Amino acid sequence: MSDYSEKFEKMRKAGKLAAQTLDMLTENIKEGISTANIDKLGYEFIRDNGGHSAPLYYRGFKKSLCTSLNHVVCHGVPSDDRILEEGDALNVDVTAILDDHYGDTSRMFCIGKTSVKLNNLINITHESLMRAIRILKPGVRLGDIGYEIQSYVEKEGFSVVRDFCGHGIGTKFHEAPNILHYGNKNTGMELYPGMTFTIEPMINAGKFGTKTLNDGWTAVTKDKSLSAQFEHTVGITENGYEIFTESAKGYVKPPYL
C-alpha cells in the first residue's frame, strides 16, 4: 500500500459528495429557479450528507457555491434576484469538505435552446479539461498541462483565462502548486504519485481579459464575451491519474437529460 492511499480514500469521498451535489442540481436547474435557490439546494444537500460547503465564509464569501452566468468567468455570487431564463449558460462550482478533505468540481448548465457558438464553447472547454487530464502521470510537467489546454483551445479560436488557475487541494481548499491553464511543454514542476490538484480551465469566446466587479468576487470577461468552465479534482497515481469528482450518473456536459 502506498502511503497516500488513505488520503486518496478521503479525497474520493469528498470528491464524490461534490459530484453528487452537482448531479442533484442537474435535476433541479431549470428556467425560473433563482441562483440563490440553487445555492440553498447545494448547501442543504452537502450538510445532509455529513459535509460542509467550503465557499461559505471563505475569505468573506457569503454563499455555499458559485453561480457564474454567461459572461461571468468565475466566482459569481448566488442571488435571489437572478432567475434563470431561456438562453442562459451557467457554471455551478461546488466544493465540499468531508472528513477534513476537499472535493472541488464545476459543470456548465444551459437553459433552453443554445446557440451553435455557446454549444461549441462548452464542448471545447470540456474537451480541453479532459485532454489535460488524459496526459496525467508521474513525470509529466505542469507546463504540459497548460500547453495541452492552450494549444487546443486557441486552435479552436477561443482564449484561455490567465487571471485564475487550478490549485493543489487536499486538507486545504487552495494550496500549492498553481495549475495554469496555459504554458509551454517541458516546463515547470514534475507531477509525482500522491499529488492532488484541480484543473479548471475558464475559456472565453472573445479575449482572455477579465475584471472583478465591485462586489469583490464576480469576475467577468472585459469584452463581455461568453465564458465557460469545467473543473475536476484529480490525483496522480503510480502510472496515471484518478478523477475524484466524476458523476456517478454520467452527467458529463449538457445536454444532461
Q: Report the 10 Å Cβ neighbour count for 136.
A: 22
| Stretch touching ligand MF3 by CB under 6 A, among 2-10, 54-62, 149-157, 178-186 | 54-62
Q: Are 90 and 251 spatial neighbours (Cβ–Cβ below 8 Å)?
A: no
For 142, residues 6+ apart whose C-beta sits below 8 A from its C-beta are 177, 179, 180, 183, 187, 188, 189, 191
- Euclidean distance between the first and final Cα of the chain, in Å? 40
- Does residue 93 touch Co ion according to CB under 5 A? yes
x/- site string to ligand MF3, residues 172 to 201, per CB under 6 A? --------------------------x-x-
Cell 477534513, residue located: 100
Q: Which of 49, 61, 206, 243 binds ligand MF3 (CB under 6 A)?
A: 61
- Does residue 88 touch Co ion according to CB under 5 A? no
From the list ligand MF3, Co ion, none, which binds 256 (C-beta under 5 to 8 Å, kind-based)?
none
Site for ligand MF3 in 206-235 (CB under 6 A): 217, 231
φ and ψ at 120, to 5 degrees? -65, -45
Site for ligand MF3 in 91-110 (CB under 6 A): 93, 95, 104
50 half-sphere exposure, CB direction, 13 A CA radius: 8
- Give the shortest CB-218-to-ligand MF3 separation in angstroms: 10
**Which residue, judged by CB position, is nearest to ligand MF3 in the bound state?**
55
Q: Are 222 and 210 spatial neighbours (Cβ–Cβ below 8 Å)?
A: yes
- Give the shortest CB-111-to-ligand MF3 separation in angstroms: 22
| Cα dihedral 163→165→170→171 (10° resolution) | 0
**Which spans of this chain sit near ligand MF3 (rule: CB under 6 A)?**
55, 58-59, 61, 66, 75, 93, 95, 104, 198, 200, 217, 231
**Which spans of this chain sit near Co ion (rule: CB under 5 A)?**
93, 104, 198, 231
